[in-house]
Amino acid sequence: MRPSGRTTDTLRPVSIEIDVTKHAEGSCLIRCGDTHVLCTASLEERVPPFLRNSGLGWVTAEYGMLPRATTTRNSREAARGKQTGRTQEIQRLIGRSLRTGVDRVAMGERQITIDCDVIQADGGTRCASITGGWVALRLAVNRLMKAGDIKTDPLTSNIAAVSCGIYAGQPVLDLDYLEDSEAGVDGNFVMTGDGRLVEVQMSAEGSTFSREQMDALMRLAESGVADLVAAQNAAVA
């Protein structure tokens, strides 16, 4: 039995509330169990210097955790003067994952920045950030299209992510913190709306794992991402 009482193939309860901030071009609050992330999309009519006059748009991301997102207070990274390696790795993952589902030519020379701020953490914050980040991006693009600033929808696919791992010897879907901290194998699966892989992060943390176990985790991820994509589409509908 999992600590939460869920079956091995069950996601935590997922909710996505849109338009939660006044000024951002797109925003949502995604809740995956007790992991809550505020995702906002900010539009700028310019691109980084390396893309000027290229005709290509750009999607990037920033990620952070509020000081009391966890059981003990962590000081703000801004107060320490630099981001941790973990923060940099996660926000790069979010950015490149979301860019996979974007036609940057159709987007035109403009940049959308996705800010993911973890309000409360209980495992899977990067996966929730990617899933919610796509919703914020979708809403910002909808605004561009409604205004007539772009003619062709630049979003080619949903992008969503879920964690899977080996806990107590069993492949399980969507690990919470208790499971994640004790998992023998931990992985994050980023996928498109039609089930294609974008990125897989897997590591053996307590024991090695077999090809059969990897295949079982893949099947769980496919099922979980399909449910998350349905939640994304329901939110933006």
Segment 162-221, tens digit of pLDDT: 999 999 999 999 999 999 999 999 999 999 999 999 999 999 987 899 999 999 999 999
Q: Closest Cα partner for 38 from 135, 112, 162?
A: 135
Instruction: Answer whether residue 118 shows pLDDT above 90.
Output: yes
Query: What's the pLDDT tens digit per position in 121-144?
Result: 999 999 999 999 999 999 999 999
| Strand partners of residue 44 | 111
